Structure 1
Amino acid sequence: MTLYGTTPVASPPAARTAMAKAKILIVEDDRSIADVLDYNLRSEGYETVVSYDGADGLNQSKLRSPDLLVLDLMLPTIDGMEVCRRVRADPVTRRQIILMLTAKGEETDQVAGFSVGADDYVTKPFSVKVLLERVKALLRRREGGASRRDDVLVSQGVMVDRERHRVTVDQQGLDLTPSEFGLLEALIRQPGRVFSRSELIDAALGGDSLVLERTIDVHVRALRKKLDSHADLIETVRGVGYRFRDPAGVR
């Protein structure tokens, strides 16, 4: 079995698939390991970006929009756990797949990794072949479930279909403006989470929009009117902003 730090393992061309067009960000401060990962992932046909510390890795995750991160935990500037938390908390990056790669192999370490949003966890020393299979499996899982997890959002009778840009309430279609659609999508994606007005401006109107925060109140009133009997699903949190009612009642 080939381990990191030894001769890179490249698959024959016949083994490469269409999935190999995905972009992968490698965040690893050990340059020998990073080089092995970079070589083998490129040999599989993936596009790769390499970062050697947590702060740069976090920045690259926003700038490059990778499909998957191979993320070490013991990193300079910002550790991998915190990088993972921030990637998951940012609407721009939260859908990126995260495969943690670390020497911390205890069960408690793995639980901690998954608790902050990791999709998979590989311990060092590792088999390059096994890691490549893990990467392929994660990307296949995303392809197979993307429409269910990301493109169609359903809660309490309200459905938001991002691909078709369609909203229904109890199977009846609603005619929403792009801003109203973006606002509803941001809220329904994370039921129970309180969004500030500035966060909703970023989500619904785009971060470059030159609008007042109170503009969101106007959009919320219009959206509630269109939701009609479901208007109370959008709750006002005084002094903070708005949230979509959590079906589990968690606040």
Structure 2
Amino acid sequence: MSDNKYKILLVDDEVDILEFISYNLEKEGYKVYTAQNGVEAIKVAEKKTPDLIILDVMMPEMDGIAACEEIRKIPSLQNAIIAFLTARGEDYSQIAGFEAGADDYITKPIRPKVLVSRVKALLKRSGSTTTATTTTPESSNIISIGDLIIDKERYLIKKDNQEMILPRKEFELLSLLVSKPGKVFTREEIYYSVWGDNVVVGDRTIDVHIRKLREKIGNDHIKTLKGIGYKFVD
């Protein structure tokens, strides 16, 4: 997919920031939509199904964290990448963002060229993931392991007859671990496979996603090897 086919939704309550970022992204050939609060963002996202959503955290009516959580519940937006672009760089704020289902967290201020590079890296990662999915035989889209059924096409898992739609990165992390049950994946392998080598994520990112997965599928499936990484056991 060429850059000019990608759709990006920018969400910020400051009009000058929307105009400035839109200008720089449109110069790169992206189709850009904007919203000024979380409520509006959800409506635009449902209508336009963007490939990437860039969210501010502090906004009126509905903040970015709440908006991210709601967007992740919408099936048609399961493949959308969500990145926070905010002046709040505290660890707890970043953790809240990842727990809400974000894929990346970018701290303001950021130079336009750097932001464009981050956007390209995120979309490149999305494109490679999409390509891999579309070329996979339909039969391999369903994985049954232990008490879990994993539907790779719908980003859905079923446990004890209960269906759950996972945020994109949680699902990709789970899919990686179950691809080789018993294998220990190092943190470096996980970063590269799930987030890509061009995307900068914080040290706590994997830990947050592992914790969220354990809350949903149980503590017994994902084992921690301290100082090394994680493995899946059925």
> Which residue of 133, 146, 152 corresponds with 2:117?
133
Q: CA 1:155/1:247 → structure 2, altered by over 3 Å: closer, same or farther? A: farther
Aligned to 1:194: 162
TM-score w.r.t. the length of structure 1 is 0.57
Aligned to 2:180: none
Q: CA 1:109/1:160 → structure 2, altered by over 3 Å: closer, same or farther? A: closer
Amino acid of the structure 2 residue aligned with 1:153? N
User: Cα deviation per residue 1:170-228 (whole Å; 9 max; x = unaligned)?
Assistant: xxxxxxxxxxxxxxx5xx722338359xx9xxxxxxxxxxxxxxxxxxxxxxxxxxxxx
Aligned to 1:156: 144
For the residues of structure 1 that align with 2:111 and 2:218, how far apart are their CA atoms?
A: 43
Specify the structure having the higher radius of gyration (Cα).
1
Q: Does 1:62 align with 2:46?
A: yes
Aligned to 1:33: 17
For the residues of structure 1 that align with 2:151 and 2:91, how far apart are their CA atoms?
A: 38
For the residues of structure 1 that align with 2:59 and 2:131, how far apart are their CA atoms?
A: 34
Q: Does 1:120 align with 2:104?
A: yes
For the residues of structure 2 that align with 1:156 and 1:247, how far apart are their CA atoms?
A: 16
SS in 2 for 1:190: strand
CA RMSD after TM alignment: 3.0
Contact 1:155 1:247 in 2 (8 A): no
> Which residue of 76, 80, 92 corresponds with 2:60?
76
Matches within 5 A, 1:1-251: 18-148=2-132, 153-156=141-144, 189-192=156-159, 194-195=162-163
Structure 2 unaligned residues grouped into runs of 5+:
166-216, 222-234
Contact 1:191 1:247 in 2 (8 A): no
Amino acid of the structure 2 residue aligned with 1:73? V
TM-score w.r.t. the length of structure 2 is 0.61
Q: Shift in Å at residue 21 of structure 1?
A: 2.0
Q: CA 1:160/1:123 → structure 2, altered by over 3 Å: closer, same or farther? A: closer
Q: Which structure is richer in relative contact order (CA contacts within 8 A, separation 6 or more)? A: 2
Contact 2:94 2:105 in 1 (8 A): yes
Q: Shift in Å at residue 160 of structure 1?
A: 6.0
Q: Shift in Å at residue 153 of structure 1?
A: 2.9
Contact 1:88 1:95 in 2 (8 A): no
Q: CA 1:195/1:128 → structure 2, altered by over 3 Å: closer, same or farther? A: same
Structure 1 unaligned residues grouped into runs of 5+:
1-16, 163-184, 200-245
| Matched residue count | 163
Greater shift, 86-95 or 72-81, is seen at 86-95
Contact 2:38 2:59 in 1 (8 A): yes
Q: Shift in Å at residue 38 of structure 1?
A: 0.8
